[in-house]
Amino acid sequence: MADAGVLNVERLVLGPISTNCYIVWREGHEDAVVIDPGAFSPRIQNILKQHGLECRAIINTHGHPDHIGGNGALRDATGAPVYVGALDADMLAEPDDVFHVLARSGGQGFSLVADHTLEGGNVLRVGEMEFEVLATPGHTPGGISLLLPDDLTLFTGDTLFACGVGRTDFAGGDEEALWRSIFEVIFSLDERIRVYPGHGPDTTIAAEKAWHGRSRIR
């Protein structure tokens, strides 16, 4: 993959809960992935058009409404299939009503059935990009992180933030599972990896290991 082109990551902050949406592509290639379109925004299509890109996949790191609000409209506009962790698939079809009210931001076709589901260990190839799917439950039962190992790049959704972790007090949250996902899965990766979370600034695994200190999982 060394000659496949430089990886580009464009971050957009969308919706009333300031969710990070990422557009990911390789320089010199038209295939793009949109991760967590929390709301449908013309800015997504403007970036795709500006760089001559075609959205080939829409991937949700988990099923909370502030990360899926733009799924339907973006799928309608681009024809790209929607992917989500298998255990969160029902959250796309039947979004939580209370969280829905908080997160909805004008997206069309908010509720939908995912085109494909993902599980830990899957590899999703989109053009010249190969995303390794890591099962990182805890914030939600089917939360996933997306790793591009050759690019030292990881998208963690709401599992791990810069100097913070995801909440576990929503339906389906599991604090013990969250800490296992962080310490046993994410912190086992190369410390040089840059982490792109679901909210807030990017960080690195090295920085987060230093911040969190010793493992809380015995």
Tell me the per-residue pLDDT of 181-193, one tens digit each, with 9 for 90 and over: 999 999 999 999 9
- pLDDT, residue 1, reads 47
The rounded distance, in Å, linking the Cα atoms of 155 and 182 is 13
**Cα Dmax for the chain:** 49
- pLDDT, residue 16, reads 85
Q: CA distances (Å), 79 to each of 43, 56, 57, 75, 99, in order?
A: 17, 8, 9, 5, 27
Q: For the domain 7-212, what is the CATH superfamily, name and number?
A: Ribonuclease Z/Hydroxyacylglutathione hydrolase-like (3.60.15.10)
Write the DSSP symbol of residue 20: E
The rounded distance, in Å, linking the Cα atoms of 51 and 117 is 28
What are φ and ψ of residue 166, in 5° steps? -75, 155
CB 174 within 8 A of CB 182: no
Answer yes or no: is pLDDT of 96 > 80.
Answer: no
What's this model's pTM, rounded to 2 decimal places?
0.92
Tell me the per-residue pLDDT of 97-138, one tens digit each, with 9 for 90 and over: 545 444 444 444 466 899 999 999 999 999 999 999 999 999
